[in-house]
Amino acid sequence: MELDERKLKILAAITETYLKTGEPVGSKLIAALLGGRVSPATVRNDMAVLFDLGLLEQPHTSAGRVPSHLGLRLYIDQLMPTQPLTLEERQEIEALFNRRNPDPDKLLEDSARALAKYTNCAAISTTMYKQNATVRKIELIPATAHTVVILLIASNGMIKNKVCRVDFRLTPKIVDFFTSFANSRLAGRGINEITRNYINSISFSLGEYTDIFSPLLTAIYDLCREASDGRIYRSGTSNLLEYGELRQIANQLFRVINSREELMDLIDRDENGVRVSIGRENQKLELADSTVIISKYKIGEDSMGAVGLIGPIRMDYARLLPHIEYFSQMLGKLLNETLEDQDDPGA
């Protein structure tokens, strides 16, 4: 059945009132919100039709109605008024990123914390493993005469580092030689291609220096494994306890949020842009009374990560959706700038 304009207005009014108050909405209030142009009796009839179509629910025996998950989906996709960010709101989000740290790991961690505080939901930020992720660069930074810090910069936005001790004295000439050697064999190569066997093969190509440089190559292999997994940062999980409808199922929600596998299942889909999964749309029983919002950010042309929110079904979608979209755009922009700075030898 195709809904006429009046029924759509009634559904929108019920949904917006419920999202603000959390209470079932009655026909008299809706009639008043529509300016008295429609009688309460007509509103009740239309509410009955919306109920039969599965767009409204009756939580208890009162005369009030609330939107169903299907009704919320229709509202978000078709009826929700767009609220473009004001200049002040953009500046407020940009201010969250003013203290840039050149380490993408730290930037992602700080972003999750800022997003959780800003929205009062549980927030996540992540890089995501891609089959085409490559090694961008290997760097060696001598710390002592026998200790070096190895940096691996990957195309999925990760900078991994590891301290490695060697049995020989590190000189500038040796550091330059190994850095050049490692980059000639590894830079531009897919991270998933850098297997233990591949590391052994390039190690053997060093001939008499194989045993000397093997600890450094083993450390690089370990860094590749870390970079390929990506990172997930979580913040604001305790915020969920502030919502009465989530308090009783908090333990189940915490289990999902603390499980890397469960979170990646929520995040790692092909959709770009902002994706909203309401309640049972999440296909996880633990999230049947929650909404998950995911917004992908990009490094270059690839979607390489995401920021997300987990919160109650009753949230201010019209405000939060443009905010999280702009937030993820800012995060992607800063990660791109950070990696470009690292690639610039004059930076």
pLDDT at 264: 83
- Comparing 212 with 303, the larger pLDDT belongs to 212
pLDDT tens, residue by residue, 107-161: 888 889 989 998 999 999 987 655 567 898 999 999 999 999 999 988 766 788 9
Domain(s) of CATH 3.30.390.60: residues in the chain: 135-229
CATH 3.40.50.720 for domain 87-128+230-343: no
Q: How many CB atoms lie within 10 A of CB 226?
A: 16
The helix/strand count (H/E) of the chain reads as 13, 10
For domain 135-229, give the fold.
Answer: Enolase-like; domain 1 (3.30.390)
Domain with CATH 1.10.10.10 in the chain: 5-79
Confidence of residue 302 (pLDDT cuts 50, 70, 90): low
How would DSSP label each residue in 24-73?
A: -B-HHHHHHHTTTSS-HHHHHHHHHHHHHTTSEE--SSSS-BEE-HHHHH
Q: Where in the chain is the domain with CATH 3.30.450.40?
A: 87-128+230-343
Strongest mean pLDDT among 97-106, 112-121, 260-269:
112-121
At 235, list the tokens: 């913040």
CB-neighbour burial class of residue 81 (10 A; exposed 0-12, middle 13-18, buried 19+) = exposed
| Cα–Cα distance measured from residue 195 to residue 218, given in angstroms and rounded to the nearest whole number | 11
pLDDT per residue as tens digits for the range 59-97: 876 668 999 999 999 999 999 988 788 899 888 888 877
Its pTM stands at 0.75
Amino acid letter, residue 259 = S
Q: Assign domain 5-79 to its CATH architecture.
A: Orthogonal Bundle (1.10)
- Whose tokens are 């469960």? That residue is 262
